Amino acid sequence: MEVVSDLLSRMKLRLSLEKTIISSFQEGFNFLGFHFGKRHVGVGKKSLKSVYAKVRQLTQRNQGNIPIERVIAELNPKIEGWANYHRYVNNISLFRSLDRWVRNRVRAYIRRQWRDRGRWKIYSSEELDRMGLARMEWKIPS
């Protein structure tokens, strides 16, 4: 640790002993919203919890009568920003399940707004696409 600290001090940088952890790739470590493991890079748990919390906040029941267009307009930058930041993570199933979860939250919001169970079936994924809801799974590079 001293060698690294000396090297950084020559570059006029400081090493924070409270934040610095020495670990192996066997255990993996979290850094900037990613989890780095031995063979893969994944999404960090805090980052995943954060995107779930943001979507929950925007689609919660007690918002009154906010039009779905406005909810989608507020959701899209958050969804697209998070997905673009994590697009190089090699876990397409995570993006698909998160996309499905977001779409179900939006459907539930619409259902609560209309207070009509029958309207649930009207809002398919294609209809949500036409309404402008962003898809996460399309953000992953092929």
Instruction: Spell out the domain ranges in the chain.
Output: 2-139
Q: Where are the alpha helices (DSSP H) in the chain?
A: 2-10, 45-58, 68-85, 92-114, 125-131
Residue 141 has a pLDDT of 58
Q: What is the mean pLDDT of residues 123-135?
A: 90
Closest listed residue to residue 58, CA positions, set 40, 77, 71: 71
46 confidence band (pLDDT: 50, 70, 90)? very high
Q: Could you report the per-residue pLDDT of 63-72, keeping only the tens digit for each?
A: 778 888 999 9
Reported as type and span, the H/E element at residue 42 is: strand 41-43
Q: Could you report the per-residue pLDDT of 11-25, keeping only the tens digit for each?
A: 988 888 888 878 777
